[in-house]
Amino acid sequence: MIQLWSLCVPVVIRLTLVAPLLAIALPGCTPQTERPNFIVILTDDQGYADTGRYGAIGFETPNLDRLADEGLRFTDFYVPATVCTPSRAALLTGSYPKRVGLHEAVLFPYSEHGLNLDETTIPELLKPLGYRTGMIGKWHLGHQAEFMPTRQGFDSFFGVPYSNDMDGHLYRGRGFQSPPLPLYENEELVESGPDQAFLTKRYTEAAVQFIKNNVDDPFFLYLAHNMPHLPLHASAGFAGTSERGLYGDVIQEIDWSVGEILAALEEAGLDQGTLIVFASDNGPVLRPDAGSAGNLRGGKATTWEGGMRVPGIVHWPSRIPKGSVSGEVATTMDLLPTLVSLAGGEMPQGLDIDGHDISPLLFQPGDATSPYDALYYYSRDGLPEAIREGAWKLHVAKSRGWNQSDGEFPISLFNLEADPGETQNVADDHLELVERLKEKLVQFDAALTREARPVGQLGGSR
C-alpha cells in the first residue's frame, strides 16, 4: 500500500500549514488506514446467541469477544433471508434475494441456475478500485462452472460450491445422486469428499495465506465457513473441548479461526487497516444439539426474529470506537454500498439495490440512526411474511415456525423493544397501525416483484 501514502501527502501539507499538531496526529494518514482491507467472515446457521457477547452458554469465544470489545456489536443485525442461498445472494449484491431472483429456497447439486452473471457483486465493484478479491469456503450461488466465484468477481476461490450436507446425498424425489462433496481450487476440482473435520482448519490456513500474499495491495476476502451447518465436524484439537457438545466445539474452532486471522493481520502490520465483519447467514436449526437464538423466537427457515436476526460484529480498530453497541437496524445488504464507499468508490449509476452505506453507524454509533424506513421478512420460499418499522413488527403469514394444528396463523403485531421474544400479540390494540404496515408490506412486495431481475439459468448467461 506504499502508493497510498501519496494520497495522504497533500492533506498533510495543507494541515501542516494551519495545524501542525493535528497533522502529526492525523490518524487516518497511514498506509494502514487509507482504503482498508475487508474481511467478511460468514458462518452457516450460527444462532443469534452463539457468540460470547450475545450470551453463548457452554462454550467460549474469546476472539469473537475481542472483535466486539475492540469494535462494534449490532444487537439488531439482520439477514434478509432465512436460509443459505438467498442470504448469500443478498450479501454479495446488496439486494433483497427477490430482486436478484434467488428468493426461492436453496440451490441443490441438481440445480441448473445460479446468481445471474449480470448482477453486480461486491468484488466486481472493488476490483476496479485496485482490490485483490478472494473467496474461501461455501459458495452456494451456483455450482456449475459458469456460476462459480471466479466468474462473479473473485480472483481466487478455495472451497465447496454448496452445503456440507449435500455430500453424496440421494435426492429421492429427483432420482438424483449427488457426488461426494466437491472441493475446488478456483474452477478445478481438487478433492472429492474431503474430511469435513478439517474444513474450518483448511479454510483458515487458506485465509492466512491469502493475507500473506496480499500485504502490498488492498484486498477483499470473503470467508464463508461451512460450519456450524449440520452435520457438525470439528478437528481433533477442538472435538470434545466444550460443555455444549460438538456444536460448542465447532464454534470454538471458528473462534480459533478468527484468532488466527487477527494474528496474521498483526504479523503483516495490517491489523489497524483492516475492517472485519462477522455474521451468520441465518438463524440456528432448533435442535438440542445445534445452535441457539437465545430469547428470540424461532430459528432457521422462519421469519421470526430467531431466523433472521444474527450476530453482527464490525472490527476496525483505527476507525470504530472501541466497545460500541448499536441497537439500530442494519443488514448484510449494507456491506456492498458500505465497502464500496470506504474503498473510495462510487455506486454505479442505475444500480438498483436495497442496502445502505452504514458508515455513519460504524463511526458514530451513538449518534447515527438506521437508514431503514422498514425491513421486510421473506419466507424460505420467497413470500412476504413480515415487516419491521421501528420497534413494531407485523406478521401477516407464517409458512414455517407455526404449528398448523393450532389453526390459521393470526395477524400478529409485536413491539420488539418491549418484547423481543415476540410473545405478546398486540394487534388488536393497534388496528390502524396493523392496516398501515400490512399495506406497506403489500406495496413493497409488489414493487420488488415488478423490479425483480432474472436468476441466472445454465447456458443462458453471457
Nearer to Mg ion by Cβ, of 310 and 353: the residue is 310
> Residue 156's beta-bridge partner residues?
134
Percentages helix, strand, coil for the chain, rounded to the nearest 5? 35, 20, 50
Per CB under 5 A, which region of 72-80, 117-125, 279-287, 374-382 contacts Mg ion? 279-287
Q: Return d(Cα 206, Cα 222) in angstroms, integer.
A: 12
Which of 27, 46, 33, 30 minimizes the C-alpha distance to 344?
A: 33
Per CB under 5 A, which region of 39-47, 112-120, 330-338, 429-437 contacts Mg ion? 39-47
Task: Give the shortest CB-389-to-Mg ion separation in angstroms.
Answer: 26
Encoded one letter per residue, x for contact with Mg ion by CB under 5 A and - for no contact, window 16-35 reads --------------------
Tell me which of 140, 143, 356, 395 is the catalytic residue.
140
Q: Return d(Cα 72, Cα 108) in angstroms, integer.
A: 35
Active-site residue flag, 84: yes
Per CB under 5 A, which region of 7-15, 18-26, 40-48, 121-129 contacts Mg ion? 40-48
Per CB under 5 A, which region of 137-145, 210-218, 277-285, 324-332 contacts Mg ion? 277-285
Encoded one letter per residue, x for contact with Mg ion by CB under 5 A and - for no contact, window 228-267 reads ----------------------------------------
Among residues 70, 281, 334, 422, which is the contact residue for Mg ion, using CB under 5 A?
281
- Residues 109/195, Cβ–Cβ less than 8 Å: no
Nearer to Mg ion by Cβ, of 45 and 354: the residue is 45
Nearer to Mg ion by Cβ, of 91 and 270: the residue is 91
Task: Give the shortest CB-45-to-Mg ion separation in angstroms.
Answer: 4
Q: Return d(Cα 223, Cα 319) in angstroms, integer.
A: 22
- Residues 434/411, Cβ–Cβ less than 8 Å: yes
206: helix, coil or strand?
helix
Nearer to Mg ion by Cβ, of 165 and 428: the residue is 165
45 binds Mg ion, rule: CB under 5 A: yes
Residue linked to cell 458514530: 364
Cell numbers representing residue 354 in the block: 436495497
Nearer to Mg ion by Cβ, of 84 and 105: the residue is 84
- Residues 292/1, Cβ–Cβ less than 8 Å: no
Nearer to Mg ion by Cβ, of 45 and 70: the residue is 45
Residue 44 DSSP label: S
Q: Return d(Cα 182, Cα 157) in angstroms, integer.
A: 13
Task: Give the shortest CB-166-to-Mg ion separation in angstroms.
Answer: 12
- Residues 72/364, Cβ–Cβ less than 8 Å: no
Task: Give the shortest CB-44-to-Mg ion separation in angstroms.
Answer: 4
Task: Give the shortest CB-141-to-Mg ion separation in angstroms.
Answer: 13
Among residues 44, 70, 119, 357, which is the contact residue for Mg ion, using CB under 5 A?
44
Active-site residue flag, 113: no
Per CB under 5 A, which region of 37-45, 125-133, 167-175, 411-419 contacts Mg ion? 37-45
Cis peptide upstream of residue 231 (ω within 30 degrees of 0): yes
Task: Give the shortest CB-83-to-Mg ion separation in angstroms.
Answer: 6
84 binds Mg ion, rule: CB under 5 A: yes
Residues counted in the chain:
462
Residue number with the shortest CB distance to Mg ion?
84
E strand segments, 89-146 = 113-114, 132-138
The β-bridge relationship of strands 77-78 and 156-160 is unpaired
Among residues 282, 303, 324, 412, which is the contact residue for Mg ion, using CB under 5 A?
282
> Residue 361's beta-bridge partner residues?
none
Position 135: which residue type? M
Task: Give the shortest CB-297-to-Mg ion separation in angstroms.
Answer: 18
50 binds Mg ion, rule: CB under 5 A: no
Q: Return d(Cα 348, Cα 351) in angstroms, integer.
A: 6
Number of residues that bind Mg ion (CB under 5 A): 5
Position 381: which residue type? D
Per CB under 5 A, which region of 30-38, 78-86, 242-250, 444-452 contacts Mg ion? 78-86
E strand segments, 347-452 = 375-378, 384-389, 392-395, 412-415
- Applying CB under 5 A, the residues found at the interface with Mg ion are 44-45, 84, 281-282
Which residues participate in catalysis according to the annotation?
84, 140
